[in-house]
Amino acid sequence: MATLIPKPTVIEAAGNKPKLIEEYFGRVNSGTTSTSIARMKSPGGWVEPGQTPEFDEYTVVIRGELQVRTKSATLTVKAGQAVHTSKGEWVQYSTPHPDGAEYIAVCLPAFSPTTVHRDA
């Protein structure tokens, strides 16, 4: 059966600046625990605390640039590109470019504050 999601739920974001998270599918908006899908809009200069999540994250950048830092590399993901980070891998997301970024994030299983394991 098809289910219409009439609008996303805005979720509070972690980081040094306000970032817009619009969850379409996930624990909050649709009650989905297997997958979360959200649109993110991050301002320039935004930095999120590092984390070691219990979920895989697939990210597609729509506009701007997203910086993805792991223990072994730092990747700059530009509009039209995508990145996958594996569960159990330490990662830190940021948008150092002045124009920020807009991107879609898919988490399997769904994002949860109790499974993201952010740095103190």
Domain ranges of the chain: 9-108
Q: What is the pLDDT of residues 22-76, one digit of tens each?
A: 999 999 999 999 999 999 999 999 999 999 999 999 999 999 999 999 999 999 9
Which pLDDT score is estimated for 104? 98
* Range 9-108 classified under CATH 3.20.20.140: no
For residues 9-25, average pLDDT: 96
Contact of 16 with 46, CB cutoff 8 Å: yes
**Which residue is associated with the tokens 């509070």?**
12
H helices of the chain, where? none
pTM of the complete model: 0.95
Rounded CA separation 117/102 (Å): 23
Average pLDDT over residues 88-92: 98
| Alpha-carbon gap, residue 108 to 26, rounded angstroms | 10
pLDDT of 78 reads 98
